Every structure is written in structure tokens, then in C-alpha cells.
């Protein structure tokens, strides 16, 4: 099978898109409409789309009259319960313009680490996609604890891409592409393509807290991108503002070329090989 290229993303059968808290919460909540428009256009082309969306806790902050992300676990869990409800309502309201229906999928790390819940999660996602429903995935922060967390939703998105046999993963961030060092530093150069097996030693990627509403940064995206690319999933890292360009196959962002590996076909609900997606 020929490895997917950045320009071939519009022709991909199945794509996972991940967006972070800072891109869709607070003053940036309007970006939900921009993201949904791009997802709807890809869906209309026949691509099966899965959205991994952070933002539940950040979305809840103004409703709970909190000035920043809570530090205690109980309040984080309560905020996640409130915010997830509001976040799904915002997505569905935006999707209504295109006649699309969302399906909420909340996962914990244990769901993907153990065979039975992993199989159940795959089966549910396959059925949602078969019904042409847009799965919206998030970590189940209401029940997750520090000991059983994914760490960040970039990693969750990479694991979901592996789980459902996605062709491509698009990690949306606040900058257009990755740089050889933090972009504000002298000598920082944009990185356009990273081939499978490229030596990235010497690059400096930072992990930061973004706007006090979520954790992330270039290092988490690089780690998640390499995890997915090693399993044969092409990965594009770019700005949330460029989501339409990313899904349209334009030359934006940083492309992690997928490794040439044999990928098992997704299985249907009863363990049989699923029919071709197109």
C-alpha cells in the first residue's frame, strides 16, 4: 500500500482531527464553527471523520465562576461534567447547519489498555462511523484520576487513530507548524516534513500550560505524532485556523510521513473483517 502524503488527505478514507482547549474555549469559542465547517466538507466528500476535542473543563469555568483551571481533582471532575455537556451542545448546534449528528465517546486510559474495553470502544466507533455519525471523543475527566490519565489529548488522538485504523491524524494547535526551537527564539526554523525514522536530535520542543486552561505544547504533539506515524498513520500538525487547508491537502503545517508498516483491517462488531469503507 502506498504511504499517504499530505496532499492526499482529502482522499483519505478515515481521518482523526484533534483540537485543544485553548483553540475552542473562552474568546476562541467561535472557532468551533470554523472547525465544524471543515469537518462537514470532508464528511461530504465521503471521508469518515472522528474529532478528538479537549475543552470540557475550560468550557465550564465561566459557568462555575472560576477564574482558572481548578487544581483539586474533585472540582476538575465536576467542571468536566458540566463543561462536557455544554461543549457537546455547542458542537451539535454547529453541526445542525449541515444536517450532521454527533456521538459522544468518553474514554479512560484503561479503556484502551485492556482487550475487552478496547474491543468495545472500537466496535462502538465503527458502528457510529457506519451510521455516518461524527464521533466526538474526549478523555472521561469526570472519572479519570492522575494515575489513569492519558496525559494529554494529543496522545489520546494518536491512540484513537491506531484503534480505528485511521489513514491520517490532524493535530490542531495555536501555531501554523512546528519549529526547530520555540518560534520566539533566534534561529528557529519551520519544519515542513519529518520522514519516518528522521533523527530529531537537536530540535527543542517545549511543553507548556496554555492560557491556564489546558496542558500541551510542541513536545506532546511531536510525541503523539511519532507514535501514530510509526504505526502507519500520516500526521499533520498545524493551526486550528488552518483546519480547512489541512483537510484540503494544502501545503500547511508539519507533516509526519507514515512508516511503511502492514496495518490490520478494522474488524466489524462480531470480529469479522469489515467491508471496504468506500
Which residues sit in the known binding site for substrate?
54, 141, 153
Give the angle subtended at the CA of 131 by the CAs of 126 and 132, to the nearest 5°.
95
Return left, alpha or beta for 249; rule: phi > 0 is left, psi -120 to 50 is alpha, else beta. left
198-225 b/e with 16+ CB inside 10 Å = b? eeeeebebeeeebbebbbbbbbbbbbbb
Binding-site annotation: residue ranges for ATP: 18, 173-174
HSE, side-chain direction, 13 A CA sphere, residue 27 = 1
Binding-site annotation: residue ranges: 18, 54, 141, 153, 173-174
User: In angstroms, what is the C-alpha Rg of the chain?
Assistant: 18
CB contact set of 115 (below 8 Å; sequence gap of 6+): none
Q: Cite the DSSP H helix spans in the chain.
A: 21-24, 31-44, 56-60, 73-95, 109-113, 115-130, 153-164, 218-230, 243-247
Residue written as cell 458542537?
91
Q: Which DSSP helix (H) or strand (E) runs through 14?
A: strand 14-19
Sheet strands (E) in 195-265:
207-210, 214-217, 234-239, 254-256
Chain center to CA of 119? 20
Amino acid at each position: 500500500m502506498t504511504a499517504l502524503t499530505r496532499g492526499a488527505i482529502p482522499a483519505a478514507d478515515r481521518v482523526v482531527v484533534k483540537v485543544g482547549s485553548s483553540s475552542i474555549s473562552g474568546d476562541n469559542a467561535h472557532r468551533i464553527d470554523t472547525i465544524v465547517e471543515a469537518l462537514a466538507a470532508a464528511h461530504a466528500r465521503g471521508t469518515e471523520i472522528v474529532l478528538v476535542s479537549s475543552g470540557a473543563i475550560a468550557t465550564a469555568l465561566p459557568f462555575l465562576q472560576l477564574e482558572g483551571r481548578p487544581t483539586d481533582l474533585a472540582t476538575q471532575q465536576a467542571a468536566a461534567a458540566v463543561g462536557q455537556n455544554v461543549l457537546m451542545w455547542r458542537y451539535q448546534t454547529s453541526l445542525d447547519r449541515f444536517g450532521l449528528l454527533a456521538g459522544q465517546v468518553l474514554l479512560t486510559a484503561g479503556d484502551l489498555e485492556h482487550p475487552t474495553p478496547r474491543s468495545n470502544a472500537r466496535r462502538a466507533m465503527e458502528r457510529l462511523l457506519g451510521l455516518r455519525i461524527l464521533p466526538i471523543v474526549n478523555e472521561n475527566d469526570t472519572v479519570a484520576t492522575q494515575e489513569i490519565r492519558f496525559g494529554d489529548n494529543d496522545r489520546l488522538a494518536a491512540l484513537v487513530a491506531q484503534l480505528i485504523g485511521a489513514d491520517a491524524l490532524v493535530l490542531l494547535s495555536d501555531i501554523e507548524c512546528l519549529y526547530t526551537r520555540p518560534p520566539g527564539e533566534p534561529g528557529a526554523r519551520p519544519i515542513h516534513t519529518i520522514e519516518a525514522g528522521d533523527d530529531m536530535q537537536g530540535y527543542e520542543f517545549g511543553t507548556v500550560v496554555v492560557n491556564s486552561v489546558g496542558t500541551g505544547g510542541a513536545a506532546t504533539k511531536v510525541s503523539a505524532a511519532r507514535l501514530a506515524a510509526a504505526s502507519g498513520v500520516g500526521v499533520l500538525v498545524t493551526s486550528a485556523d488552518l483546519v480547512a487547508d489541512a483537510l484540503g491537502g494544502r501545503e500547511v503545517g508539519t507533516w509526519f510521513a507514515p512508516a511503511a508498516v502492514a496495518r490490520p483491517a478494522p474488524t466489524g462488531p462480531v470480529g469479522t473483517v469489515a467491508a471496504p469503507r468506500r
